[in-house]
Amino acid sequence: MSEAKQKVRVAFFDFADCEGCQLQVTYLNEAFLGLLEHVDIVNFREAISEKSDDYDIAFIEGSITRKHDEERIKKIRENAKIIVAYGACACTGGVNGLRRHYTDEEAKEIVYKGREFPLEAGRPKPVHEVVKVDYYIHGCPTNNDEFVKAVKGILLGKGYTPPSYSVCVECKLKENVCLFEKGQTCMGPVTRAGCDAWCTSYGNKCYGCRGMLDNPAEQGQMDILEKNGYTIAELKQKFETYNMCRMEAEKNG
Amino acid sequence: MGNLSKKELDINVEYLTRVEGHGNIVVNIKEGKLEKCQLEIIEAPRFFEAMVKGRSMFEVQHITSRICGICSTGHCMASVKAVEDAIGYKVSDQTTMLRKLILHLETLDSHLLHAYFLVAPDALGVPSVLPLVKTHTDVVLRALRMKKTYSDMCDIIAGRHTHPITVCPRGWTKVPNKKELIKMKELLESTVDDLNITVDTFKTLTLPSFERETEYVALNHPDEYAFLDGDITTTDIKENIKPQDYKQIIKEYHVAHSTSKHSKNKRDSYMVGALARANINFDKLNAPAKGVADALGFKTPCYNPYMNTVAQVVEMAHCTYDSLDILNHLINNGIDETDIVTSWPTRDELHNFKVKAGTGVGAVEVPRGLLVHEYTVDEKAVVTNANCCIPTNQNLANIDLDMKKLIPEIIGKSKEEITLLSEMLVRAYDPCISCSCHMLDVKFV
């Protein structure tokens, strides 16, 4: 029965990143085998040797940094019917955005100290700054519950829209004590939900890995943080960890 | 080298698969002369040392964890140990024990992934684990079952394996309670049968026979098979070097044929990883691990790099039983649930938080070998300088030299066989190219 079914051809590609989100996919375990009943994975460099350019859905992990990476993603865009950016590096630029604090020359000087060989450092960009993205699965790393939900929606043709409310909503439902009450800071109030308040439920704070909300109360967040004794420079850093690319884009209109 | 005489051969494996990260293998033989033979690195450089500059020491592990998903726990450990060393902070015994436990889980998970998903397909003559789903269903299901168990244990202790949430400087933001410890113990015990069958499976796999003696480098600890703590030693020097003096051993250098940083000590290359650890610390493996080594015919010193995978299976036994010891200890002696810290000093702490400016080093054995992070922090706890020495970078020169010895030995074989043996050699090192933030784009003719 399943043999006769036309399977969707799926490809995974990675760019500048840690490949942790691909790894998350391997943690799907049995759900991964279930997925194989509905899709053919035709490209997944980290796990398999098979390669093909014939696919319907391309999952993109990582930020686009160099010229030939831009060409590669453009080619993938031509081949794929649907592009899904998954993981912070692809969706928002992730921590790679922090590199934008430095010019190529400065970054090279810090890391490669006076090295003579040529090197294209590139400029880290989220995927949507280079090609059109159809769907986003946020997170650093992605959360498998959300990943499965999103993939189901995409395979069924319904698509997937991540939550538009903040992490605080999920955190409250988990009955966590607010970190501000405990004298700590948190990016939860301005960060997109969907992770089920993962980090705050494990005693850490929200670092904002899912990116800022579409309409975040940025000033409110700055006021709270400032009230808690942080300098403007420190506040800016907290926003920048995962939102550097977007902040730059907004600044440049 | 007899039949090298007139051979013309061009091998260019682009986007080498089943490794973590992006690399190509290039072999050129012209008129019988081995002109080029190397692993070329095409991973996009990411500049983590620049990214953490100016950031607080309390979030440096959060950022450096993102160097690599598969080794994220190892990077966290090296980071927190380095910043604690910089400010002279000593963690509790319980914190150390839990750190050992989570590092074991990462080693188990990573070795399992490497042995089953990345190496076994070569030994069984298939391009990936996918065809095995049909032909060797039990093997795939076993691997997935074990992997899920390790990841379920990581979920309990750290919220997840990839980028663990609860690990931070000074300790843990959450510790498992007794019920959770018992659950973890049950989970780990449930893998023991699968581990035994894993050993049986690997008994049936034949790995290429090839030897090249080199210098082996690993941490060394007087009381244990070193993973989290220890001094640096090598098979050549046989003395212990403090982690802070790591530059005495790890000498990074540039080579003309590649723009990635390589490392060496006194010879032209050295090896880190499971095989290096086993060659240095075999006597400190626990009894079950020694039993596995015996069953697999693994003896040290071992100079066959393909045997790195076998050393990993041996370490899986060590990590499993050492983790059970840790869990039993914590269950029997009770866990101090008040021994938790905030990831960042609280508002009140911050006002009185005194940090002694300084430089610190964290040296840890991660699945692929010795990992060193070094940070300088100022009195405001801000990182002013960073350096990370990645295991895969340290192995690159050794991989190149292995290939240079291997290719002439197998030159009589077909291009396909030579390609496969070269790929298998690179994979045996379990290279993690994502980690290698020092690596650059290389263009070859």
- Return the bridge partners of B34, or none: B29
Interface of A with B in 59-78 (CB under 8 A): 62, 65-66, 69
Task: State pLDDT tens for residues B397-408.
Answer: 999 999 999 998
Q: How far is A162 from chain B (nearest CA, A)?
A: 21
Q: How far is B301 from chain A (nearest CA, A)?
A: 31
Sequence letter at residue B105: L
Q: What is the DSSP string of A189-204?
A: GGBB--S-STTGGGT-
Task: State pLDDT tens for residues B72-115.
Answer: 999 999 999 999 999 999 999 999 999 999 999 999 999 998 89
Task: State pLDDT tens for residues A40-99.
Answer: 888 776 556 666 778 999 999 999 998 989 999 999 999 999 999 999 999 999 999 998
pLDDT of A109:
75
Chain B touched by A2 (CB under 8 Å)? no
3-state helix, strand, coil in chain A (%, to 5): 40, 15, 45
Q: Do A204 and B173 touch (CB under 8 A)?
A: yes
All domains of chain B in start order, with CATH: 2-41 (no CATH), 48-428 (1.10.645.10)
Between CA B186 and CA B189 the distance in angstroms is 5
Residues of A in contact with B151 (CB under 8 A): 27
Interface of A with B in 221-240 (CB under 8 A): 228-229, 234, 237
Between CA A99 and CA B48 the distance in angstroms is 8
Residues of A in contact with B172 (CB under 8 A): 203
Cβ contacts below 8 Å, chain A against chain B, sum to 194
Global confidence as pTM: 0.92
Between CA A131 and CA A8 the distance in angstroms is 22
Which of A24, A95, A111 is the closest to B162 by Cβ? A24
Task: State pLDDT tens for residues B16-74.
Answer: 555 555 667 788 877 777 778 777 766 666 788 889 999 999 999 999 999 988 899 99
Name the DSSP class of A176: P
Chain B touched by A92 (CB under 8 Å)? no
Interface of A with B in 195-214 (CB under 8 A): 198-199, 201-205, 207
- State how far the alpha carbon of B127 is from the alpha carbons of A49, A195, B137, B423, in Å: 5, 35, 16, 12
- Within 8 A by CB and 6+ apart from A215, the residues are none
Q: How far is A167 from chain B (nearest CA, A)?
A: 16
Question: Which residue matches tokens 């604690």?
Answer: B84
Question: For residue A196, which of A133, A138, A239 has the smallest C-alpha distance?
Answer: A138
- The residue of chain A with its CA nearest to that of B117 is A47
All residue ranges of chain A with pLDDT < 70 are 1-5, 30, 45-51, 114-119
pLDDT of B259:
56
Q: Residue A36: count other Cβ atoms within 10 Å of its Cβ.
A: 15
Please return the burial class of A116, using the count of CB atoms within 10 Å of its CB with bins 0-12, 13-18 and 19+: exposed
- The residue of chain B with its CA nearest to that of A208 is B62
Q: What tokens appear for B61 in the block?
A: 């592990």
- Within 8 A by CB and 6+ apart from B222, the residues are none
Between CA B165 and CA A196 the distance in angstroms is 14
Question: For residue B335, which of B168, B105, B175, B100 has the smallest C-alpha distance?
Answer: B175
Which of B173, B347, B437 is the closest to A202 by Cβ? B173
Which of A110, A120, A201 is the closest to B49 by Cβ? A110
Q: How far is B430 from chain A (nearest CA, A)?
A: 12
Cis peptide before A141 (omega within 30 of 0): yes
Q: How many residues does chain B have?
A: 445
Q: Do A48 and B18 touch (CB under 8 A)?
A: yes
Between CA B181 and CA B337 the distance in angstroms is 12
CA angle B103, B109, B111 (to 5 degrees): 100
Question: Which residue matches tokens 């002694």?
Answer: B356
Q: 3-class SS at A28?
A: coil
Question: Which residue matches tokens 């579409």?
Answer: A214
Between CA B112 and CA A111 the distance in angstroms is 33
Which of B41, B47, B416 is the best mutation test for A, with the most CBs of A within 10 A? B47
Residues of B in contact with A49 (CB under 8 A): 17-18, 121, 127-128
Q: Do B343 and A32 touch (CB under 8 A)?
A: no
Chain B touched by A153 (CB under 8 Å)? no
All domains of chain A in start order, with CATH: 8-155 (3.40.50.700), 167-251 (no CATH)
Q: What are φ and ψ of residue B108, in 5° steps?
A: -60, -50
pLDDT of B411:
85
Which of A45, A66, A99 is the closest to B441 by Cβ? A66
Q: How far is B318 from chain A (nearest CA, A)?
A: 23
Taking the alpha carbons at both ends of chain B, their separation in whole angstroms is 26
Q: 3-class SS at B432?
A: strand
The interface predicted TM-score of the complex, written ipTM, equals: 0.91
Contact of B298 with B307, CB cutoff 8 Å: yes
Contact of B262 with B398, CB cutoff 8 Å: no
Q: What tokens appear for A165 in the block?
A: 């409310």
Chain B touched by A47 (CB under 8 Å)? yes
- State how far the alpha carbon of A9 is from the alpha carbons of A22, A35, A43, B37, B139, in Å: 17, 11, 9, 36, 25
Question: For residue B349, which of A237, A176, A229 has the smallest C-alpha distance?
Answer: A229
pLDDT tens for the 445 residues of chain B, in order: 444 555 677 776 665 555 555 667 788 877 777 778 777 766 666 788 889 999 999 999 999 999 988 899 999 999 999 999 999 999 999 999 999 999 999 999 999 988 988 888 887 777 777 778 788 888 888 988 999 999 999 999 999 999 999 999 999 999 999 999 999 999 999 999 999 999 998 998 888 999 999 999 999 999 999 999 999 999 999 899 999 999 999 998 876 555 567 889 999 999 999 999 999 999 999 999 999 999 999 999 999 999 999 999 999 999 999 999 999 999 999 999 889 999 988 877 776 777 889 999 999 999 999 999 999 999 889 999 999 998 988 998 999 999 999 998 998 888 888 888 888 898 898 876 544 433 322 222 2
Contact of A200 with A194, CB cutoff 8 Å: no
Chain B touched by A119 (CB under 8 Å)? yes
Q: Going along A75-163, which residue ranges are E strands?
A: 82-86, 135-137
